[in-house]
Amino acid sequence: TVKQYTPTSKGKQKIVNGYVQAIFKDPEDRMWIATRNGIQVLNTPDSSFVDLNTYLKIEGLPEFRNVRMRKIIADSKKNIWICCDNGLYKIDRGTKQVTTFLNQNNSKSISDNVVNDIIERKDGKFWMSTVNGLNLYDPATGSFDHYFNDPTDLNTLSSNMATCLLLDRDDDLWV
Protein backbone atom coordinates (compact mmCIF):
# COMPACT_ATOMS: atom_id res chain seq x y z
CA THR A 1 0.00 0.00 0.00
CA VAL A 2 1.22 3.47 -0.86
CA LYS A 3 0.19 6.35 1.38
CA GLN A 4 0.90 9.92 0.35
CA TYR A 5 1.49 12.80 2.77
CA THR A 6 1.68 16.33 1.39
CA PRO A 7 1.63 19.88 2.75
CA THR A 8 -2.01 20.07 1.57
CA SER A 9 -3.17 16.88 3.34
CA LYS A 10 -5.93 17.42 5.89
CA GLY A 11 -5.40 17.93 9.63
CA LYS A 12 -2.34 16.46 11.30
CA GLN A 13 -1.68 14.12 8.37
CA LYS A 14 0.25 16.76 6.46
CA ILE A 15 3.97 17.33 6.29
CA VAL A 16 5.33 20.86 6.60
CA ASN A 17 7.11 20.75 3.25
CA GLY A 18 6.91 18.49 0.21
CA TYR A 19 10.68 18.44 -0.26
CA VAL A 20 11.77 15.50 1.90
CA GLN A 21 15.52 15.40 2.45
CA ALA A 22 15.95 12.54 4.91
CA ILE A 23 13.84 9.73 6.38
CA PHE A 24 14.80 7.87 9.52
CA LYS A 25 13.22 5.12 11.60
CA ASP A 26 14.10 5.51 15.28
CA PRO A 27 14.56 2.72 17.85
CA GLU A 28 10.88 3.07 18.82
CA ASP A 29 9.86 2.44 15.19
CA ARG A 30 8.77 6.05 14.63
CA MET A 31 9.44 7.60 11.25
CA TRP A 32 11.25 10.95 11.23
CA ILE A 33 10.68 13.05 8.10
CA ALA A 34 13.21 15.83 7.54
CA THR A 35 12.31 18.70 5.22
CA ARG A 36 13.60 22.23 4.75
CA ASN A 37 10.89 23.40 7.15
CA GLY A 38 11.92 21.15 10.00
CA ILE A 39 11.68 17.58 11.19
CA GLN A 40 8.39 15.85 11.92
CA VAL A 41 7.75 12.48 13.54
CA LEU A 42 5.01 10.23 12.20
CA ASN A 43 2.69 8.77 14.83
CA THR A 44 1.90 5.45 13.16
CA PRO A 45 -1.37 4.54 14.93
CA ASP A 46 -3.26 7.55 13.54
CA SER A 47 -0.85 8.63 10.75
CA SER A 48 -0.46 12.09 12.26
CA PHE A 49 2.70 14.18 12.30
CA VAL A 50 4.12 16.03 15.27
CA ASP A 51 6.99 18.53 15.24
CA LEU A 52 10.30 17.10 16.49
CA ASN A 53 10.56 19.63 19.33
CA THR A 54 7.06 18.68 20.54
CA TYR A 55 7.85 14.97 20.23
CA LEU A 56 11.18 15.06 22.11
CA LYS A 57 10.52 17.94 24.53
CA ILE A 58 14.23 18.73 24.74
CA GLU A 59 15.39 22.22 25.59
CA GLY A 60 17.97 23.69 23.21
CA LEU A 61 16.97 21.58 20.23
CA PRO A 62 16.90 23.74 17.08
CA GLU A 63 13.80 23.79 14.89
CA PHE A 64 15.87 23.04 11.77
CA ARG A 65 13.83 25.51 9.68
CA ASN A 66 15.31 26.59 6.33
CA VAL A 67 18.16 24.11 6.79
CA ARG A 68 19.19 21.43 4.33
CA MET A 69 18.95 18.11 6.13
CA ARG A 70 21.42 15.41 5.08
CA LYS A 71 21.17 12.31 7.30
CA ILE A 72 19.67 11.07 10.57
CA ILE A 73 20.88 7.94 12.37
CA ALA A 74 20.66 6.22 15.75
CA ASP A 75 23.89 4.90 17.21
CA SER A 76 24.45 1.74 19.25
CA LYS A 77 23.51 3.67 22.43
CA LYS A 78 20.25 4.92 20.85
CA ASN A 79 21.53 8.49 20.58
CA ILE A 80 20.20 10.32 17.53
CA TRP A 81 22.64 12.09 15.19
CA ILE A 82 21.42 14.73 12.73
CA CYS A 83 23.65 15.86 9.84
CA CYS A 84 22.72 19.12 8.13
CA ASP A 85 24.11 22.29 6.59
CA ASN A 86 24.31 23.89 10.06
CA GLY A 87 26.57 21.30 11.67
CA LEU A 88 26.09 18.01 13.44
CA TYR A 89 23.71 17.41 16.34
CA LYS A 90 23.72 14.56 18.84
CA ILE A 91 20.55 14.00 20.85
CA ASP A 92 20.94 11.89 23.98
CA ARG A 93 17.42 10.55 24.49
CA GLY A 94 18.21 9.39 28.04
CA THR A 95 19.56 12.66 29.46
CA LYS A 96 17.64 14.88 27.01
CA GLN A 97 20.89 16.67 26.17
CA VAL A 98 21.71 18.14 22.76
CA THR A 99 25.35 18.42 21.71
CA THR A 100 26.15 20.63 18.73
CA PHE A 101 29.31 20.07 16.70
CA LEU A 102 30.42 23.08 14.65
CA ASN A 103 33.63 24.02 12.89
CA GLN A 104 35.65 26.20 15.26
CA ASN A 105 38.60 26.69 12.88
CA ASN A 106 40.83 24.45 14.95
CA SER A 107 42.08 20.87 14.79
CA LYS A 108 39.83 19.71 17.64
CA SER A 109 36.51 20.53 15.91
CA ILE A 110 34.69 19.09 12.90
CA SER A 111 36.26 20.24 9.62
CA ASP A 112 33.11 21.89 8.18
CA ASN A 113 29.54 22.76 9.20
CA VAL A 114 28.04 21.06 6.12
CA VAL A 115 27.89 17.44 7.29
CA ASN A 116 26.71 15.02 4.60
CA ASP A 117 26.84 11.61 6.26
CA ILE A 118 27.73 9.82 9.49
CA ILE A 119 28.38 6.17 10.30
CA GLU A 120 29.36 4.39 13.52
CA ARG A 121 32.31 2.01 13.59
CA LYS A 122 32.32 -1.21 15.63
CA ASP A 123 34.57 0.47 18.22
CA GLY A 124 32.05 3.28 18.83
CA LYS A 125 33.91 5.97 16.89
CA PHE A 126 32.13 7.86 14.10
CA TRP A 127 33.10 8.68 10.54
CA MET A 128 31.59 11.90 9.16
CA SER A 129 31.75 13.20 5.62
CA THR A 130 31.67 16.94 5.00
CA VAL A 131 32.17 19.31 2.10
CA ASN A 132 35.67 19.86 3.48
CA GLY A 133 37.10 16.45 4.25
CA LEU A 134 36.48 13.31 6.23
CA ASN A 135 36.33 13.30 10.03
CA LEU A 136 36.77 10.58 12.62
CA TYR A 137 35.17 11.46 15.95
CA ASP A 138 36.11 9.71 19.18
CA PRO A 139 33.34 10.15 21.81
CA ALA A 140 35.73 9.02 24.57
CA THR A 141 38.08 11.98 23.97
CA GLY A 142 35.69 14.38 22.22
CA SER A 143 38.27 14.93 19.49
CA PHE A 144 38.21 14.79 15.71
CA ASP A 145 40.83 13.46 13.34
CA HIS A 146 40.70 15.03 9.87
CA TYR A 147 41.44 13.49 6.49
CA PHE A 148 41.89 15.66 3.42
CA ASN A 149 42.92 15.41 -0.22
CA ASP A 150 46.61 15.83 -0.87
CA PRO A 151 47.23 16.04 -4.64
CA THR A 152 50.80 14.79 -4.13
CA ASP A 153 49.69 11.65 -2.25
CA LEU A 154 47.58 9.03 -4.04
CA ASN A 155 46.72 7.43 -0.68
CA THR A 156 44.49 10.32 0.40
CA LEU A 157 40.93 11.31 -0.49
CA SER A 158 40.42 12.02 -4.18
CA SER A 159 38.50 15.17 -3.18
CA ASN A 160 37.75 17.05 0.03
CA MET A 161 34.05 16.87 -0.90
CA ALA A 162 32.96 13.63 0.77
CA THR A 163 29.28 12.77 0.43
CA CYS A 164 28.41 9.12 1.14
CA LEU A 165 29.92 6.62 3.54
CA LEU A 166 29.68 2.86 3.91
CA LEU A 167 31.31 0.47 6.37
CA ASP A 168 31.66 -3.08 5.12
CA ARG A 169 31.60 -6.20 7.31
CA ASP A 170 35.32 -5.82 8.03
CA ASP A 171 34.71 -2.24 9.27
CA ASP A 172 36.54 -0.86 6.23
CA LEU A 173 35.31 2.55 5.16
CA TRP A 174 34.14 3.28 1.63
CA VAL A 175 33.88 6.95 0.62
Give residue-wise pLDDT tens across range 87-142: 999 999 899 999 999 999 988 899 999 999 999 999 999 999 999 999 999 999 99
What is the arithmetic mean of pLDDT over 43-48? 82
Task: State residue 18's pLDDT score.
Answer: 86
- The angle at the Cα of 79, spanning 76 to 80, to the nearest 5 degrees, equals 115
pLDDT grade for 10, boundaries at 50, 70 and 90? confident
Task: State residue 3's pLDDT score.
Answer: 83
When the pLDDT of each residue in the chain is averaged and rounded to a whole number, the result is: 93
Distance CA 46, CA 26 (A): 18
Task: State residue 5's pLDDT score.
Answer: 87
Question: pTM to 2 decimals?
Answer: 0.92
Distance CA 175, CA 32 (A): 25
Phi, psi of 21 (to 5 degrees): -105, -25
